[in-house]
């Protein structure tokens, strides 16, 4: 019975889940770091689509990320372009093939199973996993990579007449669209 599981039992299950997905990743034509980079680029906002932000998000080394991006570029899944107005900075983006590749993401199977579990299961898992991840991040002093709605720099509806977005980021002094506000940000600072 699930109620009889000890905390250690739950940790074993989490470890097993992670191992099963990792095995699935290894069995594909991308390695785990390449999958993680694709996922990150599909979730990050326009201020965070850089190699440096990806390196921080994955707590990886510069060398690992550089090799990962070279491989993804070679496979036609990621593109690099100069960041407008910042000669030494690079904008990373998923190509159409990169977007399509994410439909084969091994975590999609887990996502579909959670979805099939119903609203109650989803809510419990969401609450528990969100709190757990937040505690681990805080205890290690890692960047939060949250979204605008929980950031101290966010002003909802702060740019009502701006065609580039109705919300406002005080840090970047730029408008933010509703879609961008839901994405993760390398500069997020919990409100």
Judged by the rule CB under 6 A, the positions of this chain that interact with ligand SF4 are: 45, 47, 148, 151, 153-154, 169, 171-172, 176, 185, 187-188
Confirm if 188 and 151 have CB atoms less than 8 A apart. yes
CB nearer to ligand SF4: pick between 54 and 169? 169
Query: Looking at beta carbons only, is 63 or 157 nearer to ligand SF4?
Result: 157
Name the residue nearer to ligand SF4 (CB basis): 73 or 174. Answer: 174
Angle between helices 7-26 and 106-116 (to 10 degrees): 130
Q: How far is the CB of 110 from ligand SF4 (least distance, A)?
A: 26
User: What is the nearest approach in angstroms of ligand SF4 to the Cβ of residue 150?
Assistant: 8
Distance CA 32, CA 23 (A): 9
DSSP 151: B
Nearer to ligand SF4, 95 or 187 (CB): 187
Give the integer Cα–Cα distance in Å for 101 and 151.
Answer: 31
- Nearer Cβ to ligand SF4 (106/175): 175
Could you tell me if 106 and 35 are in contact, meaning their C-beta atoms sit under 8 angstroms apart? yes
Residue number, 134 or 172, with CB nearest to ligand SF4: 172
Tell me the H-state helices in 6-102.
7-26, 32-43, 51-57, 62-74, 96-101
Least distance from C-beta 158 to ligand SF4, angstroms?
10
CA distance 17 to 21: 6
At closest approach, how far in Å is the CB of 25 from ligand SF4? 28
Closest CA to 159 of 171, 146, 148, 170: 170
Cβ 14 to ligand SF4, closest distance in Å? 28
Looking up tokens 């034509």 gives: 29
CB of 68 to ligand SF4, least distance (A): 24
């Amino acid at each position: 019975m699930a109620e009889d599981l000890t905390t250690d039992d739950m940790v074993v299950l989490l470890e097993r889940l992670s191992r099963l997905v990792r095995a699935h990743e290894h069995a594909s034509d991308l390695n785990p770091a390449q999958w993680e980079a694709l996922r990150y680029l599909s979730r990050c906002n326009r201020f965070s689509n850089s190699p440096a932000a990806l390196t921080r998000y994955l707590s990886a080394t510069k060398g690992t990320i550089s090799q990962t991006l070279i491989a993804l570029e070679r496979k036609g899944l990621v593109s690099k372009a100069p960041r407008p107005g910042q000669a030494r900075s690079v904008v990373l983006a998923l190509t159409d093939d990169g977007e399509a590749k994410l439909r084969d993401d091994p975590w999609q199977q887990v996502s579909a199973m959670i979805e099939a579990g119903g609203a109650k299961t989803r809510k419990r898992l969401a609450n528990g996993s969100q709190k757990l991840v937040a505690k681990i991040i805080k205890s290690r002093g890692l960047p939060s990579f949250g979204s605008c709605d929980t950031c101290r720099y966010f002003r909802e509806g702060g740019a009502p007449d701006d065609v580039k977005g109705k919300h406002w980021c005080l840090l970047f002094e730029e408008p933010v669209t509703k879609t961008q506000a839901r994405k993760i940000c390398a500069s997020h600072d919990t409100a």
